[in-house]
Structure 1
C-alpha cells in the first residue's frame, strides 16, 4: 500500500495567496481610514487633556493659567491657530516652549506636548467665539475663561481636528464657560450626546 503525500500542492498554495491578497486589497482602505480616525481622536484627546490641565492648574494656583497652541516644542516656537503642539504655562511661552517646568522661572511652564506624537497627519484649526483664528485660552482662579489672553487676544472657543481624507471623521473640542467638551460636528441627531 502506497502512502499518500501530505501537504499543499503548488496550485493550492497559489490559490491561498491570491485569496489573502484580495482580502488585503479590500481591507487596506478601511484600515487606513481607521488609522487616520485614531490619529484625529488622539489629537483631540490630547488637546482636551491640555485644556483640562490648564483649568485645573488655574484652580490649584488660584491664578491665571493659559494654554497656547504653538508650531512646535522648541526654543523657536511661535503661537499659531493651526498648531498641533500645545503648552500650558502662566506666561507667554513664545521662544521658550522647551523650557523646563518651573513654578518661578518664566514662562512658568506647567507642561507641553509635541503635536507629532501620534497625530502627525491631523490638521488643527482653532477659532474664537467670533470665528476668527485664535491661539490661546486663559483660565482664571475660579476655572472660568478669561475674556482675553495675555496680550489681549480673544480666547479659543473651539478647536477642530480633521484630515485631508474625506472618508475620515472630524472632531471638535469646544470650551464654554470653562467646561471642555469633545463632539462630532457631523452628528445632527439632537438626542446623540456627541452632537456639537
Structure 2
C-alpha cells in the first residue's frame, strides 16, 4: 500500500514517551509524520490507513499495530492528530441511491422497443400453437374412431356436431362426435354409444372439407374408411393445416393443396 502525503507540520503521538499502549511500547517523540512512516516501514510491525474525520479541526490518521503473528482482530489502533497533514477532512459525502430521470427514460424506451418487437411474435406463437393443437385433436379423434371400429367389429363414424348429440354436416365452426353406428345409417340413433365428444374450435378458426363429398368419416370393422378424405383447418391469419384420411384408414397431417 502506498504511503499518504507527507505533511510539513510536525506530528507527535498523544502519549508520553516510555508508556505502553495495548502492550506496545511508544517510542520517543516523533519529529514528523515522514519519520514516523519510515520507522513503521523499518519495524514491519505497523500498518496505517487514512480515516476521514467528522470535523475540519479534528482530522486523524488511524494506525493499527500488532505483534508478529497476531491476527487482524487483535490489532489495536492508535490515533495521531493530523490537523495539517494533507489528508481528506470534513464529513464523508453521502452517496445517493436510486436512479436519475434520464436513466428512467432510457429504461422505459428500451422496454417499449422490446414490447413492440415481442408482441407480434408472441401473437404468432400463440396462433401457431392453437393451429397445431386443433390439428392434433382431429387426428386423435380419427385414430380413436378407427381403433374402436376394429376392436368392436362394427362401423364407427366421426361427424361434425353442434349439440354433441346429432350430426350437423358443417365442419366450419361445430364440434365433433365419435359414435358407434350399429345400423349403418351414418347417424347417431337411440341406443348407439357415443365414444367421444369434442368442443368447437377457437374463434377465428374453422374446418372445411377439401374436394366436397360426404360430411362424415366412417371406419369399418377392418379399419378402412372406404374413400379418401381431406380436412383443412384455417385460422384468422389464413394459415392452414390439413389432415388426410387414406382409403386404408391411415390418418396423417399433410401439406394443404
Residues 16-74 of structure 1 show CA distances to partners (whole Å, capped at 9, x for unaligned) of 1221111111121121111111111111111000000000100110110011122x344
Calculate the aligned-residue CA RMSD, in Å. 2.2
Contact 1:43 1:115 in 2 (8 A): no
1:83 to partner: Cα distance: 4.1
Contact 1:43 1:122 in 2 (8 A): no
d(CA) in 2 for partners of 1:26 and 1:7?
Answer: 29
Structure 2 residues without counterparts, runs of 5 or longer: 1-91, 182-186
* Counterpart check, 1:86 vs 2:169: no
Partner of 1:115: 200
d(CA) in 2 for partners of 1:26 and 1:157?
Answer: 40
Partner of 2:235: 163
Pairs within 5 Å for 1:1-196: 1-70=92-161, 72-74=162-164, 78-91=168-181, 92-93=187-188, 106-116=191-201, 119-127=202-210, 131-132=211-212, 134-146=214-226, 157-166=229-238, 169-176=239-246, 177-185=248-256
SS of match in other structure, 1:8: coil
Contact 1:89 1:111 in 2 (8 A): yes
**Equivalent pairs, count:** 160
After superposition, the Cα gap between the structure-2 partners of 1:84 and 1:21, relative to the gap in structure 1 and judged at 3 Å, is: farther
Q: TM-score normalised to the size of structure 1? A: 0.73
Structure with larger Rg: 2
Contact 1:39 1:122 in 2 (8 A): no
SS of match in other structure, 1:145: coil
Structure 1 residues without counterparts, runs of 5 or longer: 97-104, 148-155, 186-195
Partner of 1:152: none
Contact 1:73 1:114 in 2 (8 A): no
